[in-house]
Amino acid sequence: MAAAEATKKAIDGAALVRRIRLGSGLVLAFFVITHFLNHSLGLISLEAMEQGRLYFMAFWRAKTAMYVLYGALLTHLALGLWSLYKRRPILRVPPWELAQMALGLSIPPILVGHVFDTHFGFTLAGVDDTYAYVLLLLWVERPYGAVLQIALLLTAWLHACIGLHYWLRIRPWYPRAVPALYTIALLLPVLALLGFVQGGLQVIALAETPMWLESYKQTIDYPDAAGWARIRNAAETGQQLFLGGIALALLGRGARRLAGLRRKGASVRYPDGGVCHIAPGTTILEASRIAGRPHASVCGGRGRCSTCRVRIDAGEECLPPPAPEEARVLRRIAAPPKVRLACQAKPAGDVQVTPLLPAAASARDALRAGRESGGREQQVAILFADLRGYTKLSEDRLPFDTVFLLNRYFAETGQAITGAGGRIDKFIGDGVMALFGAEDGADPALACRQALAAARAIGEGLDRLNHALSHELKEPLRLAMGLHVGPAIVGVMGYGPAMALTAIGDAVNTASRLESIAKERDAQLAVSQAVVALAGAKLDAHPLEDVAIRGKREPMPVRLVARAADLPG
């Protein structure tokens, strides 16, 4: 019990760390964006850069903004070292995580020199760190300086973009915004680089005039040898502290590993019989990575996307209750009991788990409800609709005409289904399968009424289509539909991009066979009496037959509707 409580506190702390990392990262990203905008003014002139710098400095060197900026920088840096210490296994994380970590750790050695040349040069040596001063340093005084600055610019921007992308990618609006955001992400650093180069060329040209160079150095209080020594010593101290931090993080990893070997750990078992033995404090997601098992994790194990979720098949008592952050995500996806986020669950004993999403799950999969991905059995109304004789109809038509006609038919059918409250499950050739009441907790009676309304709307849509295309068709389009209600297994099934919510089971097969019966009886709709009874519909005007259904022992009472448009509203 004490171990579980300690684990729960650790998870709460991890959630707080993620929030702080995100907040500090957003502050730094905003600083970089404003800095890039200032750089881009170099495309106009050096004077424009200097003018923009006045506004830039007025904001960022105000006391509050400066404290927030340096606080965010030091916090983000410390959390990066903490991540280097804590993350396990470091070489088996997804490539984008490894790239972001490598980029983040490569920024400080270059950044320290730049910060001490500018702000701390102003503080320690009294230099007026104008744009011309910085460009003079980087393009004239230090031939390698411009190359390092360009490397810093690109590294910081890539690090920020990776972080922002994997933070935003699970937002529903993000896919629509990607083209605009990608344009900005590409255009902003390009303009900044061009402005930086153009400004550097202007300073190089000015520096060729000795009188300007001497006069300008006096104007900005250019550091003397003693001033440069102070700046250089401070910069070297900063770099040594950072490298020492990396060394401490790596030594800490080694010490933690040795300590973990002495303590009794846990094991994580998988459906295929695989087992991973883990040290205390290891999450289920980390266990999968240690074992080299592919495991979905769109957000990188930050407890935001839910794609790493697993079902706990055994050993649930060995896991602490979900922390508030995990509980919030589980509520958002309507997760059933025994479902946990693998990136947050830290077993204190042996557990057996089943990952609920494929390893290749995308950000879109993160938005799907947990009950859907896990599967459930419930009453669903299933409608099949298929064009009759379309193969013969399309034989004399050009491919373009065939596609055009099918899309007109699919548009009428799709609008009828969604307008009635149904869900298009799939298009199969010239047919369609639709589900009604597939949502968790849906009312079967309402689903049946919606399905009958959709069948009527499809019939009306077919009449409109035949009228609109009467001059093109040798004979009217004909339709056959089958409608049934019954228990079905509903869940997200498929593979990769083809994964979608669907239903399987005897009720689905029966609805498909009713569609075939409608064709045999020359009716537009064959609807089971079970649907009619649940919907409370009055279909006495349409013949009722006991129809033999393949695979069923007893005949099924079915209403045969010659024209679906004649169904009562």
CATH code for the domain in which residue 334 is found: 3.10.20.30
8 Å CB contact between 285 and 342: yes
Q: Are residues 362 and 394 in the same domain?
A: no
Boundary-marking domain end, from 213, 230, 254: 254
Does a structural domain hold residue 5?
Answer: no
Q: Are residues 274 and 248 in the same domain?
A: no
Long-range contact list for 445-449, CB < 8 A, 24+ apart? 445/534, 445/535, 445/536, 446/421, 447/379, 447/380, 447/381, 447/485, 448/381, 448/485, 448/531, 448/532, 448/534, 448/535, 448/537, 449/535, 449/536, 449/537
From the centroid of its chain, how far is CA 383? 32
Q: Are residues 428 and 514 in the same domain?
A: yes
SS3 149: helix
Q: Are residues 120 and 179 in the same domain?
A: yes
Q: Are residues 362 and 397 in the same domain?
A: no
Burial class (CB in 10 A: 0-12, 13-18, 19+), 514: buried
Does a structural domain hold residue 260?
Answer: no
Nearest residue to 149 (alpha-carbon basis) of 130, 135, 133: 135
Boundary-marking domain end, from 214, 234, 254: 254
- pLDDT tens digits for the chain (569 residues)? 444 455 445 555 667 888 899 999 999 999 999 999 999 999 999 999 999 999 998 999 899 999 999 999 999 999 989 888 877 666 567 787 888 888 999 999 888 888 887 776 666 666 777 888 889 888 988 878 899 999 999 999 999 999 999 888 878 788 889 999 999 999 999 999 999 999 999 999 998 888 888 888 888 878 777 777 877 888 888 889 999 999 998 898 888 777 766 666 789 999 888 899 888 888 999 899 888 888 888 887 888 888 899 999 999 999 999 988 888 888 887 788 899 999 999 998 999 999 988 887 776 666 554 445 556 788 999 999 998 876 666 666 667 777 888 888 899 999 999 999 999 999 988 899 999 998 877 899 999 999 999 999 999 999 999 888 888 777 888 999 999 999 998 887 776 667 778 899 999 999 999 999 999 999 999 999 999 999 999 999 999 999 998 878 889 999 999 999 999 87
Residue 141 to residue 260: CA distance in whole angstroms: 52
Q: Are residues 444 and 461 in the same domain?
A: yes
For 230, residues 6+ apart whose C-beta sits below 8 A from its C-beta are: 124, 125
Q: Are residues 401 and 353 in the same domain?
A: no
SS3 482: strand
333 lies in which domain range? Answer: 266-366
Boundary-marking domain end, from 254, 283, 300: 254
8 Å CB contact between 498 and 425: no
8 Å CB contact between 379 and 447: yes
Does a structural domain hold residue 21?
Answer: yes
CATH number for 385: 3.30.70.1230
Residue 8 to residue 319: CA distance in whole angstroms: 9
Q: Are residues 457 and 510 in the same domain?
A: yes
**Three-state SS sequence of 195-211:** HHHHHHHHHHHHHCCHH
Does a structural domain hold residue 4?
Answer: no
Predicted local distance difference test score (pLDDT) of residue 395: 65
Does a structural domain hold residue 354?
Answer: yes
8 Å CB contact between 199 and 150: no
Does a structural domain hold residue 259?
Answer: no
Q: Are residues 394 and 338 in the same domain?
A: no
Strand partners, 386: 431, 480
Strand partners, 489: 377, 504
8 Å CB contact between 52 and 41: yes
The number of domains in the chain is 3
Q: Are residues 280 and 197 in the same domain?
A: no
Q: Are residues 110 and 228 in the same domain?
A: yes
At 64, phi and psi to the nearest 5?
-60, -50
From residue 148, give the alpha-carbon distance in Å to each of 103, 115, 333, 461: 14, 13, 46, 66
What the block records as the tokens of 68 is: 């927030």
Residue 94 to residue 360: CA distance in whole angstroms: 12
Long-range contact list for 301-305, CB < 8 A, 24+ apart? 301/343, 302/18, 302/343, 303/14, 303/15, 303/18, 303/329, 303/341, 303/343, 303/344, 304/167, 304/170, 304/329, 305/170, 305/363, 305/366
Q: Are residues 361 and 383 in the same domain?
A: no
Does a structural domain hold residue 261?
Answer: no
Predicted local distance difference test score (pLDDT) of residue 257: 74
Predicted local distance difference test score (pLDDT) of residue 1: 45
Does a structural domain hold residue 7?
Answer: no
Q: Which residue has the tokens 């930050």?
A: 302
